[in-house]
Structure 1
Amino acid sequence: MKLLYVVRKAKAKRTGLAPLYARLQMKGQKTVEFSTGIFILPKQWDPHGNGHIKGNDRLTDVYNHKLTEIRAEVISIHSDLERRGKRCTPSIVKSLYTGELKERATLIQAMTGYIQHRAREPELSRSTISNFGRQMKNVQRFLANRKDMKILCSEVNVRTLAKLDEYLRTEMKFKQVYCNRIIGFVKTVMDYAVLQEWIEFNSLNSYKYRRAERKKKVYLTQDELQRLIDHKFASWRLGQVAELFIFQCFTGLSYAELMHFDRSWIGVGVDTQEWIFADRQKVHGAQCEIPLFATAKNLLIKWNYKVPELDNQQYNRYLKEVAFLVGIDKHLTTHVGRKTFGNILQENGVSIESISGMYGHADTRMTRSYYVDVSAVKVAKETEAIRNL
């Protein structure tokens, strides 16, 4: 590895002083530079030998001494990495010298760095970043419980994840599906650590997730939805909540999309009829394209195309009362309305591909896994003609 000093004349100040940079080179590796923090007049630099600043004053002596110290420390880092058989590149040596990388970074440092990195992505929603933060806090609780807050990324292995999984299930009482999500977060963070050259490889790639119990999809049948539509609520507030839920059942919009609904989303579709063209709030660049069904349109007309605003927690709380009054023995949430949309469409012969497109999903796997079920009604309709076999 070579260390050269170069004067960056292009970055000179009005006074004529230009920054002096250290340049690290290694055959077959990308060259990197970092600032020495020294500013000199370009004519003061003598590039011969290892390079030094010309002059007899005290400041020049201080600067030349600093350059000698930088060279000595860089050589020391390089030699230490080679002695221990660690991967050594100009980028790694620079990161260790500048402090951008605390060599053998801790898992907590890696998680913090990963979240900060993802937070700079404009297409990522705040809720996603918040989810990362909650997952990190749960990992920190586990590490604090083990009194191992300074565990290094290089020390994290599949046994660590197995113990994390056990802690989350037994101490935190989380369901396996959420435990797997947190473990997936840790594995992703370790991939990020590899990209940052903090570790050489991700030792967690061989980890096998515990099988999560498949959660039964909850949605309304056509009969239950019709009972909800026909019910007359004595309470104005509960009637409004029911209407919001019915609107979701006929549009498939999520709570976030429902609260951001704007009349400008309604346009003319390929069939010259009115459609809803809604940008997904959760996925940047994804769009839902949904025919505007009569029930949904009638509600929009009633609301003068301004969807009533309601806090998510209040909405879900009121839905419990709505279900009780209508006689629906299911735990209703805003997401149940979204799932009802897809399942009722499927029962009426709409293909899974079309339903997936209306949800704004990239492919049908998400739709099949979490939203649409194969209902007995669909099976009955499709086997009716061959019942006498």
Structure 2
Amino acid sequence: MNIKRNIIFTLEKRRKAGVIVAENVPIRMRVIYNCKRVEFTTGYRIDAVKWDAAKQRVKFGCTNKLKQSASEINTDLLRYYTEIQNTFKEFEVRNTMPTPEQLKESFNRQHEDPEVAVEVPESVSFKPLDVFPEFIKECGMQNGWSDATYEKFAAVKSHLTKFDPDLSFESLDESRLTQYVQFLEEREGLRNTSILKQIAYLKWFLRWCGKKGYCMNNAYEDFNPKLKSTPKKVIFLTWEELSKLREYSIPATKQYLERVRDVFLFQCFTGLRYSDVFNLRRSDVKDTHIEVTTVKTADSLVIELNNYSRAILDKYKHVAFEGDKVLPVVSNQKMNDYLKELSKLAGIDEPVRETYYKGNERIDLVTPKCELMSTHAGRRTFICNALSLGIPAQVVMKWTGHSDYKAMKPYIDIADDIKANAMDKFNTL
């Protein structure tokens, strides 16, 4: 038997008159295993400013009120760590999962000095929703989550809460997970593709719980629901549609659409995401190219300018925007609304059929392309047209920041379909 556990040394959190105590704070050894948390006293205290939370040790050269040195305290903390590991190994050899009381008793036997035997003041059984905030906080900081990622996991937590607020790790077997899939479909009304994403996010969370020792049940690893799904439709403008939008004469009563069109066209000729166009500053624009560090992935990109992107920059070269921005970018929501309006006026209304599944039900939607337009269509338009012009995928990937061909495959497939109409280069038209 292999008992997953997480052993942490941390300061006890105490409040006095509503204020967190920061002086002479007890050092705890926290052991998390089998969905339980057991906290041990260590017999040592230290001021919070003298504690290195990252290393889980007293800072070098510090002493506590009893004049015990960092070296002395840290040596004993390491000894406690070794002893609790040995305690777990005893139970692993016996193929037994210890109760908190058994863990305490066995650990105290390991201890050399009975006068400092560690006691167990607290034992807590964990449930998924209990530790979800810790997961979001830790993984969000470590991975630099965007607001969108936080929102995705907030949705996961919301779904789990609605499904069963008292859900336990032990209950998450194949049958219970199947019930969760049915809940997402029937009660939450999610499409199959959305359900598969929710299960993937849930697995991410449960794997983290396993590493922490919160979850010993790994039935989720083999759970792969068979749900029919189709690839998401890639909405982009063909070169003809792009030219149609670019050359459309905007009515005098709707001149507010001109700036929206310029920003969108800049995306279509550079491949930038909305967030990167929004953050583009004059210092990012060079004579022959632009240099950006992307908001979403922090990639550093160099994107050469062509005649179309340069003309848009020149148009606003002498216009001062707040924050020394290059282009007049409005909010994403407003821009999406205006793009739909502009596309409709320009006659970009080719019917687009989207197919998706809810359970075993196939649903086909036919929608005019103008109603599906959004800022991200600009980036997709750039990729599809660049590939159809015969520009190598690896070159396009350097401009867009894509790291592998998997993300590019949908665009490559589209480019293969329209290669018969490919042109030599953007600037040779």
- Tell me, yes or no, whether TM beats 0.5: yes
Q: What secondary structure is seen at the aligned counterpart in 1 of 2:170?
A: helix
- Please name the residue that 1:300 is paired with: 313
- Please name the residue that 1:387 is paired with: none
Shift of 1:98: 6.8
Deviates more, 1:198-207 or 1:317-326: 198-207
In the alignment, is residue 282 of structure 1 matched against residue 282 of structure 2?
no
Q: Tell me, in whole angstroms, the C-alpha distance in 2 between the residues paired with 1:129 and 1:203.
A: 26
Structure 1 counterpart of 2:316, one-letter code = W
Q: Tell me, in whole angstroms, the C-alpha distance in 2 between the residues paired with 1:120 and 1:98.
A: 31
Structure 1 counterpart of 2:391, one-letter code = V
In the alignment, is residue 151 of structure 1 matched against residue 174 of structure 2?
no
- Please name the residue that 1:86 is paired with: 97
In the alignment, is residue 340 of structure 1 matched against residue 340 of structure 2?
no
Q: Structure 2: which 5+ runs fail to align?
A: 1-22, 32-38, 47-64, 69-83, 108-118, 318-324, 350-368, 424-429
Structure 2 counterpart of 1:334, one-letter code = T
In the alignment, is residue 237 of structure 1 matched against residue 256 of structure 2?
yes
Shift of 1:108: 0.9
Deviates more, 1:201-210 or 1:189-198: 201-210
Counting only pairs closer than 5 Å after superposition, residues 342-361 of structure 1 correspond to structure 2 as 342-361=383-402
Q: Tell me, in whole angstroms, the C-alpha distance in 2 between the residues paired with 1:238 and 1:324.
A: 12
Contact 1:18 1:41 in 2 (8 A): no
Deviations 1:274-331 (A, max 9, x none): 12222121113x2333211221111112122621131111111111111110000112
Shift of 1:212: 2.1
TM-score norm. by structure 2 comes to: 0.64
Structure 1 counterpart of 2:247, one-letter code = D
Counting only pairs closer than 5 Å after superposition, residues 134-149 of structure 1 correspond to structure 2 as 134-143=155-164, 149=165
Q: Tell me, in whole angstroms, the C-alpha distance in 2 between the residues paired with 1:98 and 1:140.
A: 30
Shift of 1:192: 0.5
Q: What secondary structure is seen at the aligned counterpart in 1 of 2:233?
A: coil
Deviations 1:238-278 (A, max 9, x none): 1211111111111111111111111222346xxxxx12222
Deviates more, 1:224-233 or 1:109-118: 109-118
Contact 2:291 2:303 in 1 (8 A): yes
* Structure 2 residue corresponding to 1:255, chosen from 274, 280, 298: 274
Shift of 1:135: 2.5
Q: What secondary structure is seen at the aligned counterpart in 2 of 1:328?
A: coil
Shift of 1:372: 6.5
Q: Structure 1: which 5+ runs fail to align?
A: 1-16, 26-31, 44-73, 144-148, 269-273, 383-389
Shift of 1:339: 0.3
The higher relative CO (CA closer than 8 Å, separation ≥ 6) is in 2
- Please name the residue that 1:182 is paired with: 198
Structure 2 counterpart of 1:226, one-letter code = S
Structure 2 counterpart of 1:154, one-letter code = E
Q: Describe the shift of the 1:122–1:182 C-alpha distance in structure 2 as closer, same or farther (beyond 3 A).
A: closer
- Please name the residue that 2:341 is paired with: 321
Larger radius of gyration: 1
Contact 2:384 2:411 in 1 (8 A): no
Counting only pairs closer than 5 Å after superposition, residues 1-389 of structure 1 correspond to structure 2 as 34-36=41-43, 41=66, 85-86=96-97, 97=120, 102-103=124-125, 105-121=126-142, 123-143=144-164, 149-200=165-216, 202-209=218-225, 210-234=227-251, 235-267=254-286, 274-284=288-298, 286-304=299-317, 306-329=326-349, 330=369, 331-369=372-410, 373-379=414-420
Q: Describe the shift of the 1:372–1:310 C-alpha distance in structure 2 as closer, same or farther (beyond 3 A).
A: farther
Deviates more, 1:228-237 or 1:157-166: 157-166
Q: Tell me, in whole angstroms, the C-alpha distance in 2 between the residues paired with 1:369 and 1:161.
A: 31
Q: Describe the shift of the 1:381–1:319 C-alpha distance in structure 2 as closer, same or farther (beyond 3 A).
A: closer
Deviations 1:159-183 (A, max 9, x none): 3332222222222222222211111
Q: What secondary structure is seen at the aligned counterpart in 1 of 2:414?
A: coil
Q: Tell me, in whole angstroms, the C-alpha distance in 2 between the residues paired with 1:360 and 1:87.
A: 50
Considering only aligned residues, what root-mean-square deviation do their CA atoms show, in Å? 3.7
Count of aligned residue pairs for this structure pair: 313
Q: What secondary structure is seen at the aligned counterpart in 1 of 2:219?
A: coil
Contact 2:266 2:309 in 1 (8 A): yes
Shift of 1:113: 1.9
Q: Tell me, in whole angstroms, the C-alpha distance in 1 between the residues paired with 2:294 and 2:413.
A: 19
Structure 2 counterpart of 1:227, one-letter code = K
Shift of 1:24: 9.8
Q: Tell me, in whole angstroms, the C-alpha distance in 1 between the residues paired with 2:176 and 2:329.
A: 45
Identity %: 21
Q: Tell me, in whole angstroms, the C-alpha distance in 2 between the residues paired with 1:20 and 1:142.
A: 39
Q: Describe the shift of the 1:87–1:333 C-alpha distance in structure 2 as closer, same or farther (beyond 3 A).
A: farther
Structure 2 counterpart of 1:332, one-letter code = M
Q: Describe the shift of the 1:136–1:20 C-alpha distance in structure 2 as closer, same or farther (beyond 3 A).
A: closer
Q: Tell me, in whole angstroms, the C-alpha distance in 1 between the residues paired with 2:379 and 2:286.
A: 21
TM-score norm. by structure 1 comes to: 0.70
